[in-house]
Structure 1
């Protein structure tokens, strides 16, 4: 058995011999930093069943359904969990494979003895992070056996280690780590307007990093060979060599985070298409895999296994309110400086004309990646902290809306206090009709005009404010009319009730704040 401490960068699962295998992608830090993939085949998917009546009747119905080969599960057990803080008996069903959960979900729900299914829509890799209290971008302590190879791992990285875990990983140091970051940007010859990957070649690939690599790879640049101002040009003979040099640069410098600006929509899709024309694979994944485009929000996110890709354009759209979100506009907002700009529709002219215009195009290409990296160094610490708080992969968090980040934070906290997560509202037309209309509160029509002697003018957001200030939330709903006028001291734990609430609030606040930092909270 060997032990390794890694910084957890990414996670997924694969199917091996009809079983799910969790893969943890990380970096063994230190003087000889290298990639490691940890494998865990011991974790299984599950969901909770809330019976509509007698729990034994529900268990019997589920077993009968299995005997009829309508569903297949591996373990069935009764468990007591909290449902809106009320101890409640659930049935926990475990399955062979994550795909079994959606496969059998409807058949289970159709049973008359089943009231609800819970936690049936949590992705398997997220379930693993939550149940094992793992913090992405923090350290993990691993123990297991080093193996020579494993299915789906086809990396040419000689220093890559593959570790088959003998027990579940443990969270170690969750402090910020130092990450090797690289920004990149493509320039494309576009004489016909919008670049077409089937026709328009890549003419420059700009690169900047925090590991000492700064260059623009291009098929031109001979005329600036003796110009000290143009030290950053790396001359190659063809577009194919340009792409190969880019791939080699990422691998040789052991990059953790690669950063682009609008790279989900333009740079990586374009680079993939041009690489395909030349018979090249963007095999930048730690396992030797290429780029994959996964739906995240309204766009497809360009992802690599174990190599984190951040599209800063999406980050800026979320955290800044600007009239436009060009790189030039965002850079000026951050640093108060104008960056070099070349009109997009004239890039091909600067390229074709050579001389001073070509020189300006090279400077523009370099300035793009330098600016992108500077913005990333200012903004990514916030996303790293959100990753630590939310407890979900960095690539996912950078593409989540704020509401989604809050949801996954609460799902994680629910598991910690043994609470079963309620289902998301399913607002289909059928559900809306079944619910009927809602009676709203009385609203007095205001008189139009100016008014004197206003005592108070107060708008409060309904749910967060009431939950915090008045302790009103679904978990304190009283269903018995006789209890409506109960006093607080009537309850058994009244002496400690308020203290427990205050302690919980303090715990949630302090969990998101470093001990060595001072914050003032009103």
Structure 2
């Protein structure tokens, strides 16, 4: 029987730790997998084993064939309970004993050791427990790849202006659509209830009946559920929204980002707002109103600065309208998630990394999960994440001086997944990093040296992911392809983060220095071929085609792409003795392109430009980077002006009348609402 893991956790029962995996079965039933056969463990260097025995006689020490990154033999230290490990680690490290892999959570260690990522196959007898579903005790588990169809319920809460009174709660999804409202009138599409307590009880009753795998909403953890939990405590109730009797808890963990996580068991609470940010979907801001307009072309039924006061008025004077507004908000969240495929994306990211759905955006933990499993296959253990603050200077990507001006038919070339491709091409990895000069080592532009005779884990991971991404694209699986792209792009970042166990700034700087070298090499070749490179940024080149005819410019683009790519590959082969995995793509052509000057100067401004794209079917689109039109700290009226002005400039039309008319309109107050 296949299952998808919703919550990996543990409990101590009768003095013994039990791994608890709450999951959804392929039959649609919930289940709980319990395993009490494992104990928490970490590692120390074998040379420190006597010290550990002296300081902690209650632990079990076992020698084996595992070694550190530096090749030193290690001993495994097993304790009775997961809660023992942090205290023991602290005592040992205060005595000068380094503890390795001592920070890995007990349930996550269980999954990593078994190669389980997101989905599994469970085999064994089971019993049935109300609400939790099937319960398997000490079953046989095997890794599996299975994409579940999870039941999703969107909720939205409306309250008094001060947030101290619950007015209504909308529920939409899982085949249900209704509003619960504290009111004495019968209302269409709603259940009227006599009190807050009655509303909360009915909500919990519906949760049990509908039995969703996922509860979602917009800011659902920090507002909807937190405010409901506060009201429940006032009413002497417990807000248990999972499939267990555990009370809802919002926990803010800085390592996962600014938003809180909901601690519930048996189902998940996924904030649609967090999913949006975690998938790098860019919006002007992350209000529900903005997301609905941008993604659905729809508006909330109430919007603006006085929305809270209007909700108060509706509750008092027009509760039917409040019901409609409340339900529409819950419906908008459901439709946004369906339109963007964000739940599906989270599932694919979970299957790739093993992270639960509410942690798939934790880049460091995601890479950790993959890297630790690969390390163990090589009989190597990793350091623990340091509790101390660690920082290092990491060089950024190469940004060329821009050539300010207005241009026609500018070709944009882009190195596909530049940093992952550099990792793969030059075999860059913490395992291959050498600290002293070695025979036949590769010397990176920053001076770091890397072994050629040992294949790194990150290069193999990039190769595997790149192959899977290509398969997904060919199979028409854009969500999976996007999930792989996000993971590949996070590999470089963990090497330069002090919060990562893979904090190796020498490797991170090797990657960025290679990137600088390669983009300069590409630009120099284009210049030797007689083309003017107008701008370059990290992995992209903007080249003036010098052709007035867009069709001729497009025909040149593919030839130039091929020649630049071959030149870079030849450079890599000749200077470093490596076969290039770099791939240069022709990304797009700007019919018109504008690079502004630095204010008050004559040099080009970096990371600021605008271009006119002509898409299939002849549709035109203005694209802005770094200019006022896409910056949140500029007013809407400035964006309106810049868009209108550049549209005229790009079409070779006079701008004087537009400027005069705009200034007159501004003075007349026609744009007052857009000034702030």
Shorter-chain-normalised TM-score: which range? 0.7 to 0.9
SS at match of 2:91: helix
Q: Deviation per CA, 1:249-276, whole angstroms, max 9, x where unpaired?
A: 1111121101011111111111011112
What is the CA distance between 1:471 and its match in structure 2? Answer: 2.5
Q: Return the match for 1:291 from 239, 248, 259.
A: 248
Report the equivalent of 1:153: none
1:486–1:507 CA distance, 2 compared to 1 (3 A): closer
Q: Which has the higher contact order (CA 8 A, sep 6+)?
A: 1
What is the CA distance between 1:147 and its match in structure 2? Answer: 8.0
Q: Return the match for 1:178 from 129, 138, 149.
A: 149
What is the CA distance between 1:368 and its match in structure 2? Answer: 0.3
Report the equivalent of 2:109: 127
Alignment of 1:81-120 (within 5 A): 81=66, 83-84=68-69, 88-110=72-94, 114=97, 116-120=98-102
Q: Deviation per CA, 1:119-146, whole angstroms, max 9, x where unpaired?
A: 011111111111122233x243132453
Report the equivalent of 1:21: 18
Q: Return the match for 1:143 from 112, 124, 143.
A: 124
Matched, 1:59 2:49: yes
SS at match of 1:475: coil
Alignment of 1:88-487 (within 5 A): 88-110=72-94, 114=97, 116-136=98-118, 138-144=119-125, 146=127, 157=130, 160-165=133-138, 167-172=139-144, 174-190=145-161, 195-197=162-164, 201-209=165-173, 211-220=174-183, 222=185, 224=187, 230=188, 232-296=189-253, 297-318=257-278, 319-342=280-303, 343-354=307-318, 358-377=319-338, 378-397=341-360, 400-424=361-385, 427-428=388-389, 466-481=422-437, 483=439
Q: Deviation per CA, 1:425-484, whole angstroms, max 9, x where unpaired?
A: 5554xx88xxxx99x99xx9x999889xxxxx9999997564333224443334554625
Distance 2:131 2:385 in 1: 46
Distance 2:309 2:271 in 1: 23
1:499–1:515 CA distance, 2 compared to 1 (3 A): farther
Distance 2:419 2:468 in 1: 23
What is the CA distance between 1:301 and its match in structure 2? Answer: 1.8
SS at match of 2:276: helix
Distance 1:220 1:72 in 2: 64
Report the equivalent of 1:517: 475
8 Å CA contact 1:72–1:95 kept in 2: the answer is no
Q: Deviation per CA, 1:49-96, whole angstroms, max 9, x where unpaired?
A: 125xxx4xx333333x1xxxx314442122223544x75421111111
SS at match of 2:275: helix
8 Å CA contact 1:334–1:375 kept in 2: the answer is yes
8 Å CA contact 2:427–2:455 kept in 1: the answer is no
Matched, 1:71 2:66: no
Distance 1:371 1:336 in 2: 11
What is the CA distance between 1:346 and its match in structure 2? Answer: 1.8
Report the equivalent of 1:454: none
1:237–1:291 CA distance, 2 compared to 1 (3 A): same
What is the CA distance between 1:105 and its match in structure 2? Answer: 1.4
Distance 2:5 2:241 in 1: 17
Distance 1:463 1:366 in 2: 45
SS at match of 1:323: coil
What is the CA distance between 1:313 and its match in structure 2? Answer: 1.5
Matched, 1:9 2:14: no
1:394–1:485 CA distance, 2 compared to 1 (3 A): closer
8 Å CA contact 1:221–1:233 kept in 2: the answer is no
Q: How many equivalent pairs are there?
A: 456
1:324–1:74 CA distance, 2 compared to 1 (3 A): same
Distance 2:288 2:137 in 1: 43
Distance 1:323 1:158 in 2: 41
Segments of 5+ residues of structure 2 without an aligned counterpart are 406-412, 444-450, 486-582, 584-676
8 Å CA contact 1:313–1:325 kept in 2: the answer is yes
1:507–1:333 CA distance, 2 compared to 1 (3 A): same
SS at match of 2:242: coil
Segments of 5+ residues of structure 1 without an aligned counterpart are 149-156, 225-229, 452-456
1:518–1:353 CA distance, 2 compared to 1 (3 A): closer
Distance 1:295 1:479 in 2: 39
For the aligned residue pairs, the C-alpha RMSD in angstroms reads 3.9
Report the equivalent of 2:562: none
Distance 1:518 1:396 in 2: 26
1:79–1:313 CA distance, 2 compared to 1 (3 A): same
SS at match of 1:375: helix
8 Å CA contact 1:80–1:87 kept in 2: the answer is no
Distance 1:459 1:145 in 2: 52
